Amino acid sequence: MNTSPHASSSGPIRDLQPTLHSHGAPPLQPKSLSSQTTGIGALLAEQAGRGQSIEWSPMLSIGIASIDAQHRVLVAYINQLTHAVAHGQTARILQAVLAGLDGYTRIHFRHEERLFALHGWTEHVDHADGHRAFERQLAEFRRRFEDGDTSIGLEVLKFMIYWLAEHILSDDMAYSAFLREHGVR
């Protein structure tokens, strides 16, 4: 995995940041980025655009260990994808990442939604809607890949970085304080 701070900015992912900035909208068309996540999302996109891995940091933590552990898996998939795209989007890696994300999100979303139900978080419906939208988008990517479109690596990467910045760092933060007040660690 390329962690060099001097990674080349040339190659297939050099357009990642301008694309993310100019359109600001992933395939999901979710609500617009908040000012906070725009900054973080832009930073993460810039890193990925240089072919750099995202390092886990306290900035990414939502303060609940089990969920942070699962979010680390998501970051690992993003890094795997960044590497694959930077080195020519090998179909084999893209296929593995799409399948891995499918499995990961099933476990992760079920875990989050179980905690919402257990502790009575009132905004669980909107949050779960976000999960279902993610699942639909991922299923669409997998369908396109299986139909022979193996050039979707950059698109998937943009979507995942947006998801990391918007859903985890904003939407997941929204339930974090509530669950911690109810003793979830």
Please, which residue, 114 or 143, has the CB nearer to Fe ion? Answer: 114
CB 16 within 8 A of CB 47: no
3-state DSSP: the chain helix, strand, coil percent, rounded to 5? 70, 0, 30
Residues of this chain, 111-130, that bind Fe ion according to CB under 5 A:
112
Smallest distance from the beta carbon of 108 to Fe ion, in angstroms? 7
Stretch that binds Fe ion, among 46-54, 135-143, 149-157, 164-172 (CB under 5 A): 164-172
Stretch that binds Fe ion, among 9-17, 76-84, 106-114, 117-125 (CB under 5 A): 106-114
CA angle 28, 30, 155 (to 5 degrees): 35
Residues of this chain, 166-185, that bind Fe ion according to CB under 5 A:
172
Residues of this chain, 9-48, that bind Fe ion according to CB under 5 A:
none
Cβ count within 10 A of residue 132? 10
Number of residues near Fe ion (by CB under 5 A): 2
DSSP 58: G
- By residue count, the chain amounts to 185
Residues engaged in binding Fe ion (CB under 5 A): 112, 172
